[in-house]
Amino acid sequence: MKEKRKFLFEGEKERLDIFLRDKNPDLTRSQIKLLIDAGFVLLNSKIAEKAGIFLKNGDNVEIEINDEIREELKVEPQDIEVPIIYEDEDIVVVNKPAGMTVHPAIGHRKDTLANALAYRYREILKMDKVRPGIVHRLDKEVSGVMVVARNYRARNLLAEQFKNKLVKKTYIACAIGQTDNLPSEGVISKNITRHPTNRIKMCVTENEGRESITRWKILKRKERYLFLLVNPLTGRTHQIRVHLSSEKMPVIGDNLYGGAKILKIDAGLAEIMNGYNGILLHSHSLSFTHPSTGEEMTFKTAPPPSFMKAFRHLFGEEIEIP
């Protein structure tokens, strides 16, 4: 059952999550944050961007509550196979499969990466019951390398590196674009915020949102198809997908941002993607400083077989990554 509640904020300044907690004593602050993160809170008829936003006098707030939010959200260990690239007492580096959500959320309580890692490394559950050891994320549709912390110290030090932009992230992507008019490389600097009406989508904006920067380079082009090397310099939700789409280079297979239209034209590509749980965007390498040894570490993963099969179909050769 769904219930909608509407409130008018009258005052000088107050955080959205605190305001809603006071107005909804039957909900905890963590439940309210989950609803905000999942896009179930509207601020002046637009989906609220984050829990910590400050309200202004006269703001209208609407919250949609469902039965699921009243059930405790936590990681239950599950025996799910996930490729392990590297592990020691502090960190685990994995090759996340496309189609796997990173941690539980509303609508995705099981079969996540966190569930799988909690089964193999029970100690991580001491850190957080929803996001144990998680210091960064990949979209469900995206495959590739991720690092997860195994203890508090490693989590805090890795999180600090991500916060201070000290981690180098390199992705590869197959996209669609008007190849004749494109330069060989570029930088996209556009703020990203939640889409005003679609709770699962993000969008670029001029005056709102958070600073977002993505560097891209064309490695290969053929007709309308592009093979890109992409470095996100910030870490926003859906950043690469949103930025490339905003430059009319959507990632192939990405139904949310316009990259799935090509599948209606290219039957061979559609057949390949039909058996794949992701899009043609892969986290190829991740470089960071080990939280205990101080060693500079770089981990790389090859794209999934379906990604490589799609690449052969698009470009007529095997994939090569510099």
Catalytic residue list: 139
Instruction: Of 120, 110, 150, 121, give the one whose Cα is nearest residue 134.
Output: 150
- The burial class, CB within 10 Å (0-12 / 13-18 / 19+), for 293 is exposed
CB 160 within 8 A of CB 105: no
**What's the rounded Cα separation, in Å, for the pair 311 and 84?**
25
| Encoded tokens for 29 | 């602050």
